């Protein structure tokens, strides 16, 4: 018996290792699934959370190269927008999305309870960590995301920026960029964790640093890496590699955010075989074991970091936190009172 993160609840509950009676357990090879997906039409439609339209181009390219004849119709948008449009499809019985891969991890248990998800255990489902998957295969993590500190050493030549408290250095005034915490739940969680360590006084001091507040969680690291932008540092960065001029690090003075980006197949998906092919690929060794990085699998090579042994983060904490919608909304409005409503276009609407 293992533990499964029930994302709509606030606890970790024991889950049996026995799959539900209606769970489809994959026993075909990935090449056989490919043949079935081609016979179905060779198409899969996936909605992926993110805030830059081309953010998942590498996935589309790799999938279509690996599976000739397949087309991955991939739409990247903010998870909070995807979720409400999926709810509309479910309400109107007009499902046209096959696969949903979102940051709003609390949605999945709700959709499962509504009977909207396909209980499906891909190949190597048993290799996905128990904390990242529903016991019946309705949803599962396909990658571990999180925020890290990033600063441009060409634009900042002072002491290394390694912790959240370093952002209060007076010499950084006017050179810090952050996503509005009231515009992205994972960013909001980051601020919540920092203030649990340093209190609201930390935020008041940060605001006095003349932070550039932006929309989109990729925007801060993009500005930091941009030689023509004055912004030199952020703690809302997702990529460990932003070029030779940018240093990235994981903070040690307070907890930082990590979460399992989670995937599910809609039960009424118009291309179920295409969706199964995509999901098998997403948790496969050939996709996940391309370079040492944190992974949802338990059988990673020795040089891959283990997120459960990584200090200063709790990868299972985001699910219960985001599921407490009353608290999240109160905190969002508290920040809105402090910072105002998010201003400017989303990166999905305009180029930087």
- 178-216: per-residue pLDDT in tens? 999 999 999 999 999 999 999 999 999 999 999 999 998
Q: pTM to 2 decimals?
A: 0.89
Is residue 243 pLDDT above 90, yes or no? no
Is residue 254 pLDDT above 90, yes or no? yes
**What is each CA distance from 117 to 63, 109, 111, in whole angstroms?**
23, 9, 6
- At 352, the pLDDT band (50, 70, 90 cuts) reads very low
Is residue 345 pLDDT above 90, yes or no? no
Q: Tell whether domain 148-256+323-339 is in CATH 3.40.190.10.
A: yes
Q: Which residue has the tokens 């029930």?
A: 6
Q: Which residue has the tokens 């040492």?
A: 292
HSE of 289, CA atoms in CB hemisphere, 13 A: 11
In whole angstroms, what is the distance from residue 280 CA to residue 137 CA? 12
Is residue 140 pLDDT above 70, yes or no? yes
Residues 6+ apart with CB under 8 A from 105: 7, 259, 260, 262, 318, 319, 322
**pLDDT given at position 52:** 78
Share of the chain above pLDDT 70, in %: 93
Q: Which residue has the tokens 């009353």?
A: 326
- At 11, the pLDDT band (50, 70, 90 cuts) reads very low
**pLDDT given at position 22:** 86
**pLDDT given at position 18:** 62
**pLDDT given at position 14:** 35
The average pLDDT across 209-236 equals: 94
Q: What are residue 5's DSSP bridge partners?
A: 12
**pLDDT given at position 208:** 98
The hierarchical CATH code for the domain 2-145+259-314 is: 3.40.190.10
Positive or negative, the CA dihedral 125, 127, 133, 139 is negative
The average pLDDT across 91-96 equals: 97
The mean of the pLDDT values for the chain is 91
Share of the chain above pLDDT 90, in %: 84
- Let me know if the fold of 2-145+259-314 is the same as that of 148-256+323-339: yes
Residues 6+ apart with CB under 8 A from 55: 48, 76, 218
Is residue 99 pLDDT above 60, yes or no? yes
- At 349, the pLDDT band (50, 70, 90 cuts) reads low
Domain residue limits, the chain: 2-145+259-314, 148-256+323-339
């Amino acid at each position: 018996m293992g533990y499964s993160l029930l994302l709509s609840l606030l606890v970790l509950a024991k889950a049996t290792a026995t799959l539900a009676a209606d769970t489809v357990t994959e026993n075909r090879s990935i090449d056989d699934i490919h043949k079935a997906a081609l016979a179905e039409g060779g198409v899969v439609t996936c909605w992926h959370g993110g805030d830059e339209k081309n953010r998942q181009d590498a996935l589309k390219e790799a999938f279509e190269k690996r599976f000739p004849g397949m087309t991955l119709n991939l739409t990247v948008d903010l998870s909070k927008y995807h979720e409400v449009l999926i709810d509309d499809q479910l309400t109107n019985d007009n499902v046209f999305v096959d696969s949903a891969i979102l940051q709003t991890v609390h949605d999945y248990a709700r959709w499962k309870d509504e009977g909207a998800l396909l209980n499906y255990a891909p190949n190597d489902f048993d290799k996905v960590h128990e904390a990242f998957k529903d016991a019946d295969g309705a949803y599962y993590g396909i990658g571990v995301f999180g925020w890290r500190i990033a600063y441009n050493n060409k634009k900042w030549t002072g002491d290394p920026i390694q912790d959240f408290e370093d952002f209060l250095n007076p010499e950084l005034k006017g050179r810090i960029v952050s996503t509005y915490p009231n515009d992205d739940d994972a960013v909001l969680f980051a601020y919540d964790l920092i203030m649990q360590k340093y209190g609201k006084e930390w935020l008041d001091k940060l605001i006095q640093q003349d932070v550039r507040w932006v929309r989109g969680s990729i925007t801060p690291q993009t500005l930091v890496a941009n030689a023509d932008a004055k912004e030199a540092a952020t703690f809302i960065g997702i990529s460990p590699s932003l070029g030779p001029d940018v240093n990235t690090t994981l903070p040690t003075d307070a907890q930082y955010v990590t979460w399992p980006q989670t995937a599910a197949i809609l039960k009424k998906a118009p291309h179920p075989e295409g969706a199964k092919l995509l999901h098998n690929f997403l948790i496969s060794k050939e996709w996940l074991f391309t370079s040492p990085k944190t992974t949802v699998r338990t059988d990673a090579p020795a040089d891959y970091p283990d997120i459960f042994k990584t200090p200063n983060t709790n990868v299972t904490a985001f699910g219960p936190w985001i599921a407490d919608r009353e608290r999240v909304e109160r905190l969002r409005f508290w920040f809105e009172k402090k910072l105002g409503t998010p201003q400017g276009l989303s990166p999905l609407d305009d180029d930087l």
